[in-house]
Structure formats: structure tokens, C-alpha cells
Amino acid sequence: MIDDLRFDNQFTKSLPADFHVGTGRRQVEQACYSRVNPAAVAAPKLVAHSAEMIELLGLESAEALQPGFVEVVAGNRLLAGMDPHAACYGGHQFGNWAGQLGDGRAIGLGEVVDINGRHQMLQLKGAGPTPYSRTADGLAVLRSSVREFLCSEAMHHLGVPTTRALSLVTTGEEVVRDMLYDGNPRPELGAIVCRVAPSFIRFGNFEIFASRDDRETLQCLADFVIATEFPHIEDPTPHRYAALLREVGERTADMVVEWLRVGFVHGVMNTDNMSILGLTIDYGPYGWLDNYDPNWTPNTTDAQHRRYRYGHQANIAQWNLVQLANALYPLVEEVEPLQDAIQHYAERFQTKWSQMMASKLGLSSLDDSRDQSLADEALSVMQTAETDMTKFWRELGRVDCSASLDSVERTKPLLNSIYERESATRTQISGFVDFAERWAARQRELGVNDVERQMSMDAVNPKYVLRNYMAQLAIERAEEGDGSMVEELLDLMRRPYDEQPDRNQFSLLRPDWARTKVGCSQLSCSS
Ligand code: AMP
Ligand code: MG
């Protein structure tokens, strides 16, 4: 029974609370959060749930079908032990300090101790206004909630660190949104996702106190994060805050490398959307690369400067870490250890990126300059013709390395990844052939067994990703009251590295109609 969930609310128990209550919009000082209850909704209906997450919380998966479950994850019923609250944070948005932001439409319910003994905060996104809602309504629409729900779970199964999603409900209420910010507001279905993570603390939670010279609350928060999430940092001196930055940097580097591996573009890497645990957080106008274009950004708000484009994400993560370093400076009062931590991020990213690229190529490292050239060549050949990134890497594992094979015959699997293959020029094709030949020759030299190599490559080069058009199709159906495609994509993405022959259509190149369609190639922050 969901009523059996036991809560241990470290965050609200250990950190200072706002003295005021209620949803009145305000600047909240010297407090990490404000207590606020979710708004009741008219007619909650479960669209989908994650069976894995229900089990992680120690419940039976059939529990999701009980009426009591829906009432809880829609915010209509609070359980004993919950302590609903919205967190106070600030942030740099698109490079500029934005002041207080905070959970404007997310309400933390409380922390469940999961079956592994870890704390898991349940958080409702779209559950009504909070003191941090500013001029907005605190609500979310079905469109963006389907995207958050599916992508959180897909990322997890792809092996990318992420916050999780327990459930997706519609509220039975309408929410008005101007999807493209073009003066065409329309009513959409309201929805709530119950997100789950050990902690939702962001870089911005630190920045807000530093910006207000509130050293006391800043230290309180930093000590709390160290004690609960990084307890192995035992240094009693102020250097422990630099050690914290170093750990956050490591996790951030690892996360971004995984994004690059699977072709994910976050779309809004503001410092308020950067998790202190290195989890992918806040699925808004994110997108997946179909054709490999390092300059692509899905976010229409970012179309001009492309600050958050695919190929720039590691640099932006570093810029964000520098903001976190600035925020921690008052606790350390020395620049050097903080700078070292940033330097460590840069090195860690390079090392991990290199290992990741080697694994995608079926190599053990890129230490040999010939292997580094193969990696460079793979990334450049994909840009000589419009080439599907996911398909390219997956098919590379199927390229036959035997010496006797005709070179064009060998390259055939790779050519399947080219969009408009029929109109590819001879020069474009020969670039692919040259790459395949060089790659095969190197593999022959290394002498790895073909079957073993394919298996190891398949484990890092997914067959399926949550292509933008796929989520969009699921949204269109869900908006008509049919959640079956949400279920299907959730199930598809449970095993993204496995061949699923009856679902082969989802591994094909993006269909032509999706090339410029809203929701498939362009996404706004309106959600
Ligand atoms: P985002 O760009 O989605 O990360 O949001 C930035 C800030 O705006 C955060 O403080 C959000 O809580 C807030 N926000 C976004 N949408 C809404 C909304 N519909 N109602 C209230 N606050 C919102
Ligand atoms: Mg956010």
C-alpha cells in the first residue's frame, strides 16, 4: 500500500525553513525552502507509471493501479510523514544572473528510504503555485510532462545519470500555453509528473545565498550536502568545500560524456538546471540528434546564439562549475583549490570523453595517434553527408573487417545511416568507404574477435533512442486520451541496446515529415 511508505525528510529537517507560509510570491531570505501544499486537482487520471521506480520504493508494481496511488501522485492526498515544500534557489540563465528562481512549479513531498537504503525525494512537477512561481501558474501541460516522464526513464536505461519519473497523471484541468510564444495561446491538458531523485539540489541553491552574502545559510547547505551525499569528504578544514566542488565536477563531467555518447542535447543548461549530484535534471526543450550536427540546439529560445548546442555542452558545464566555485568561495576564501577543482573537471572530461569515443569505435583507448585519427575521422565523415548519429555508430559494429571483402560491400551497413542516400555524391560515399577501410584494417591489426567486438560496441551504441518525433507522436495520441504509445515507448526504451525486431520502425532514420515539424525539430521553453 502506498500508505505504507515511510518518510525520513533530511532536507526539511536539517535545513532552515522560510518563516512565512502560503503561496504568496516573495523573496525568501535565509531559508532553503518554503512549506507549501500541492493544489488539489479536479479529476486525476494515471497515464503511465514506472514499474521499476515503484519497486525501488518498496511497493508492489500493481500498487499504481489503486485509486489511492493516483490521488497521492496528483497531489490530492498527502501521506503521513510527508513534508511538502518548495526549494529556494537562484541561477544564471543563458549566462546572466537571474536572481531568485526557486521551485516555481515543483513541490517536494518528502524522502522515502528505498529498498537499497537510499533516500529518494518524491517531487511533483506541475502541482500548483509556490512562493517561487513569480508571474507563472505553477502548472505543467501534458505535452511537456510526457517528454519529461519518457526521457527520464529512457536516460536511466541508456545508462545516463538522471532524475527518475515515478508517474504521469493528467489533472482533468486545462492550462493555457502559448507554445511557440507567437501570440497564439491555447488550452492544453494539465499534467503532473512525480519525479524522484536522492536530491534535487542544484548549483543555483548555493548561488542564491552567495549572491546575498548569506554565508551562514550557504555553509549550512554545503555541510548538509557533504554529510548526506559526499560523506567520504572528511576534511574538517574549509578545503572540504573545494573537495565538494571537485566531486560535483567529476559527476558533471561523467554526465556530459554520457550525453555526448547517446546524442542528447539538454537545451537549457542554466545553473538552476544543474544537479549537485551530476544527474540530468529538468527535461524541457531537450532533444536528440538525428543527423549528426554538433551545432544543433533544439531550444528555439537559444536559436540565435546556440549557447546550449550539442557540441558546446562540456564547455557550458565548465562555465556553470565556475559559477558554483564563485558561490563556494566565501566558504573557502582561497582561489587555488577551487581552480584546481575546475581544472580537474576539464581533465576528467577529456579522459572520459576519449574512453567513451574509443568504446564507440570498438577500441580499448585512443592513446595511439592512429586511433585518435579514427575518432576524428568518424566525427568528420558524419558531417560530410547528412548522417544519422545513432544509426552510424550502431551499424559500425556490423561492418565486416575481413581483408578479402570489397570495400564498397564492406561499407554498405554504414551507408544506411545517410539521409537521402540516393542523392549522396561519389565524394561523400568515398569518404565513408575510406573511413570503413581504415577502421577495418586497424581492427584486423588489433585482432579482436568479431563477435566480441560487436557485443562490446552494441553495449555503448544504442539501437534505440527517444527520437524527438517519437515522443511527439506519443504526445499527440495522449492528447486524444490514448496513452498506449507512451507505454510502448517506455517499454521500448527499457532495453535500448537490445535488438527488438518487432519494433524495428523505431530504429529507422527520422521520417521526412518530422524534419521541420514543431515538437520534432524545434522546441520552446513553454511547458
Ligand atoms: P526552467 O527554465 O523550466 O528550468 O524554469 C526556470 C524557472 O521558472 C524555475 O524557477 C521554474 O520553477 C520556473 N517556472 C517555469 N515554469 C513555471 C510555471 N509554469 N509556473 C511557475 N514557475 C515556473
Ligand atoms: Mg528548471
Predicted confidence (pLDDT) per residue in 36-48, tens digit: 999 999 999 999 9
pLDDT score of 525 more than 90: no
The pLDDT tens digits of the residues spanning 265-284 come to 999 999 999 999 999 999 99
pLDDT score of 359 more than 90: yes
| 106-113 and 119-125 beta bridge pairing | antiparallel
454 assigned to some structural domain: no
Query: Could you tell me which of 379, 477, 378, 381 has the C-alpha nearest to residue 424?
Result: 381
Ligand nearest to the CA of 133: 1
Mean pLDDT of 434-447: 97
Q: Are residues 200 and 307 in the same domain?
A: yes
* Residue 272 is among the residues annotated as catalytic for this protein: yes
Give the pLDDT confidence score for residue 65 in this predicted structure. 92
Q: Which domain holds residue 335?
A: 1-284+295-362
Give the pLDDT confidence score for residue 1 in this predicted structure. 87
Q: In angstroms, what is the span from residue 422 Cα to ligand 1's centroid?
A: 45
- Active-site option among 272, 302, 371, 458: 272
41 assigned to some structural domain: yes
pLDDT score of 21 more than 90: no
Cβ(173)–Cβ(42) below 8 Å: yes
Q: Are residues 358 and 404 in the same domain?
A: no
pLDDT score of 66 more than 90: yes
Domain end (from 362, 392, 408): 362
How many domains are there within the chain? Answer: 2
Q: Are residues 20 and 85 in the same domain?
A: yes
pLDDT score of 526 more than 90: no
Q: Which atom of ligand 1 is nearest to the CA of 106?
A: 12
Give the pLDDT confidence score for residue 180 in this predicted structure. 86
127 assigned to some structural domain: yes
Mean pLDDT of 338-347: 98
CA 411 to CA 400: how far, in whole Å?
8
Mean pLDDT of 195-212: 98
Q: Could you identify the residue written with the cell 495561446?
A: 185
Partnered with residue 90 across adjacent β-strands are 100
Q: In angstroms, what is the span from residue 18 Cα to ligand 2's centroid?
A: 21
Domain end (from 447, 467, 494): 447
Give the pLDDT confidence score for residue 122 in this predicted structure. 98
Using a 6 Å cutoff on CB, does residue 101 contact ligand 1? yes
266 assigned to some structural domain: yes
Q: Are residues 82 and 189 in the same domain?
A: yes
- Confidence grade of residue 88 (pLDDT, cut at 50, 70, 90): very high
Cβ(249)–Cβ(344) below 8 Å: yes
Q: Are residues 419 and 300 in the same domain?
A: no
Q: Are residues 177 and 240 in the same domain?
A: yes
The pLDDT tens digits of the residues spanning 365-407 come to 999 999 999 999 999 999 999 999 999 999 999 999 999 999 9
412 assigned to some structural domain: yes
pTM: 0.98
Cβ(280)–Cβ(162) below 8 Å: yes
Q: Are residues 358 and 395 in the same domain?
A: no
Domain end (from 413, 447, 481): 447
Which residue of 88, 94, 100, 133 sits with most ligand 1 atoms within 8 Å of its CB, as the best mutation to test the pocket?
133
Q: In angstroms, what is the span from residue 104 Cα to ligand 1's centroid?
A: 5
Residue 244 CA: distances (Å) to CA of 141, 200, 329, 522: 36, 16, 12, 37
Q: Are residues 310 and 401 in the same domain?
A: no
Q: Are residues 234 and 305 in the same domain?
A: yes
Give the pLDDT confidence score for residue 136 in this predicted structure. 95
| Percent of the chain whose predicted confidence (pLDDT) is above 90 | 95
Q: Are residues 380 and 280 in the same domain?
A: no
Q: Are residues 266 and 399 in the same domain?
A: no
Give the pLDDT confidence score for residue 215 in this predicted structure. 98
Q: DSSP label at 122?
A: E
- Confidence grade of residue 22 (pLDDT, cut at 50, 70, 90): confident
523 assigned to some structural domain: no
CB-based burial, 39-69: b 16+ in 10 Å, e otherwise: bebeebbbbbbbbebbebbebeeebbebeeb
Q: Are residues 260 and 409 in the same domain?
A: no
303 assigned to some structural domain: yes
pLDDT score of 483 more than 90: yes
